[in-house]
Structure 1
């Protein structure tokens, strides 16, 4: 079953304050929305990502989505979350996707494992939501704040996103609710419940928090922006290396490290032949002992013909995240007589940072020649070598 992620990003997030809606405010050097989009775009179980945005946010969205794979043209949302989701579902009507994951843009920490559980739950039951146990005592109060009842928390759950459904079923429920004038339902499970559809649950994550207030955003930014944020607890340090070569062929530019550099020739390869990103992908996969780029994206598969290589590297990063790990450092060396890499070094570092979520201070990009020796010296192609340092939790 084809799965599409529907990210809801049309709200104004006024409780968060600041000059921008909360989904476009920055945490750890990039926007909340970009972190959210990258998690779904990098996941192998998600075929495409559609975002519902406010009509005023086209430029902000374009910046947040720049360079990410699988991102569809955005859809303009409505006055309520329910209306926005309905607009997104309607845009997907008739497509090949059978499963939809509806996710709040303001939840940027959904893990690969959580997304995989969502997809599996929808395939098994048709409608499912992630939940966590309620640990606080919950009181029901009256209009003036007096306690009316104490609710038994054993039967209570806190609800998260992504919520997972068969797309046709959720769209039908939304359209029926809209036709009936029911527009105040706060999540998609409630829409399905209103329509009389059963909804099951699966395990959520305590770290899958929703950023609501200015304090939430400040806390997330501080945690992500600290030098080596969170790395101290990841004591299993791994290093992987990667190497790649591509010959010159017809074209007017080369892709190096996620940046299009003008050149009299292109690079020949089944994808966009970005030797830099290919070498980095192998380095990351090597650090976690998970094969190589060819095992995950076979060159014999026509799906990858002409594909942008950023999705390969994003996939490798997501593999690290799924293991509970972090990338501590990336080092890339490009080997060629031409084009000159130096003028583009900053753009390449920025591109790798956008793809991986690793801060630029932990990304090194270098270039060298072979003193006119060998195939690179004869200007027949470009080579790249890379290393990746990954930190993982110690095995129990």
Structure 2
């Protein structure tokens, strides 16, 4: 299958007046954070991705000199176009400018979101293989009230609500057509996904990122500086996992990502790596994402015989998506045989490689069951795990 061409529209056509309430003379998209203008950081987050072919800035009519002063020289950056009186109108100008180039996909990004990370952008692009549009979205944690004349009249079901972010991705021709129709009928759409919904397009969500916030108010610059300095308010979560698999005739067992020759093997739907299953559950538990069976049902044949590192990597990706960091991992394997000690370095390397975690943050321990019970009779192996994870605190 041929590669899809991908263009990005970076919408920087506003005046940024709310963010200038602190007296700054510069519109928010041209103010520096960490010494680098916001728009430069935003555009760079896409230029860092090899699959992005074109980036088109849409700017305010009065900001041509400001944009030129950014001195962006990457050949994938197209000359900026002037936006309209609203965000909807500005995006349409960008789509019109891209139309002669006929990209397959377009990502539409707020210039004031400088922290869109590669995995989030990649998820949006990947989802476009099965839908007309895709947006990052975060579940709401606050109770949402509807009010009238200052009085609460209804409480919304927040389980059915999400907060939309950008980049919002679409199949180019479909969103372009929807925007053209909308321009002649309605001019009050708040984002591109709303236009797509109005036009009957299928729009799906991917997990958003708390870091991927939009700079709107003066205090947001202080928050952005703290993020760049690594001084983000975090909280620590602890998760635990437990798993057991029976043994059956075979020639090796998979434990913590390492194949160990043995007179038996572990029985299970996947490779039955009891240590990685327990560890995956510990990570999922720490971030409140259920258990391994929720994400990889044993009734689903696509997971038949699959390496359990696939499950572990998925759990690690979920941590990254919420801006989390794995602090340390601890695994205990309980079995009479095989002997584990000599394989511990390889196990730590396998886990660290799957999660992108330094091996000095990973502990592997082993013990016997003193010949007691089903473990003592070598009928099965048990593993227990704990995971300590830091995630951004959202109050």
* Normalised TM-score (structure 2): 0.57
Answer yes or no: is 1:212 the counterpart of 2:216. Answer: yes
Q: Per-residue deviation at 1:97? A: 1.0
| Structure 1 residue corresponding to 2:192, chosen from 183, 188, 192 | 188
Which residue of the partner structure matches residue 49 of structure 1? 55
Which residue of the partner structure matches residue 2 of structure 1? 5
C-alpha offsets along residues 58-117 of structure 1, whole Å, 9 cap, x if unaligned? Answer: 122123352345211111000000000000000011314110000100000000111111
Structure 1 residues 168-179: aligned runs within 5 Å: 168-179=173-184
Moved over 6 A (4+): none
Cα distance in structure 2, aligned partners of 1:49 and 1:62: 15
Answer yes or no: is 1:14 the counterpart of 2:17. Answer: yes
Structure 1 residues 309-328: aligned runs within 5 Å: none
Task: Structure 1 unaligned segments of length 5 or more: list them.
Answer: 234-320, 326-390
Which residue of the partner structure matches residue 133 of structure 2? 127
Contact 1:45–1:116 (CA<8 Å) still a contact in 2? no
Structure 1 residues 197-276: aligned runs within 5 Å: 197-224=201-228, 226=229
State the SS of the aligned residue for 2:137: strand
Contact 2:132–2:201 (CA<8 Å) still a contact in 1? no
Which residue of the partner structure matches residue 72 of structure 1? 78
Query: CA 1:392–1:47 in 2, change beyond 3 Å: closer, same or farther?
Result: farther
C-alpha offsets along residues 308-333 of structure 1, whole Å, 9 cap, x if unaligned? Answer: xxxxxxxxxxxxx99x89xxxxxxxx
* Normalised TM-score (structure 1): 0.57
Which residue of the partner structure matches residue 152 of structure 2? 147
Cα distance in structure 1, aligned partners of 2:202 and 2:87: 21
Contact 1:34–1:65 (CA<8 Å) still a contact in 2? no
Higher alpha-carbon Rg: 2
Q: Which has the higher contact order (CA 8 A, sep 6+)?
A: 1
Contact 2:124–2:206 (CA<8 Å) still a contact in 1? yes
Answer yes or no: is 1:110 the counterpart of 2:128. Answer: no
Query: CA 1:5–1:178 in 2, change beyond 3 Å: closer, same or farther?
Result: same
State the SS of the aligned residue for 1:221: helix
Contact 1:138–1:150 (CA<8 Å) still a contact in 2? yes
Contact 1:38–1:68 (CA<8 Å) still a contact in 2? no
| Structure 2 residue corresponding to 1:97, chosen from 86, 93, 103 | 103
Task: Structure 2 unaligned segments of length 5 or more: list them.
Answer: 236-319, 325-355, 363-386, 388-395
Cα distance in structure 2, aligned partners of 1:133 and 1:171: 28
Cα distance in structure 2, aligned partners of 1:122 and 1:79: 29
Q: Per-residue deviation at 1:200? A: 1.2
Which residue of the partner structure matches residue 138 of structure 1? 144
Cα distance in structure 2, aligned partners of 1:134 and 1:68: 38
Query: CA 1:392–1:6 in 2, change beyond 3 Å: closer, same or farther?
Result: farther
Contact 1:13–1:21 (CA<8 Å) still a contact in 2? yes
C-alpha offsets along residues 329-383 of structure 1, whole Å, 9 cap, x if unaligned? Answer: xxxxxxxxxxxxxxxxxxxxxxxxxxxxxxxxxxxxxxxxxxxxxxxxxxxxxxx
Cα distance in structure 2, aligned partners of 1:65 and 1:183: 33
State the SS of the aligned residue for 2:214: coil
Cα distance in structure 1, aligned partners of 2:62 and 2:195: 27
Answer yes or no: is 1:63 the counterpart of 2:69. Answer: yes
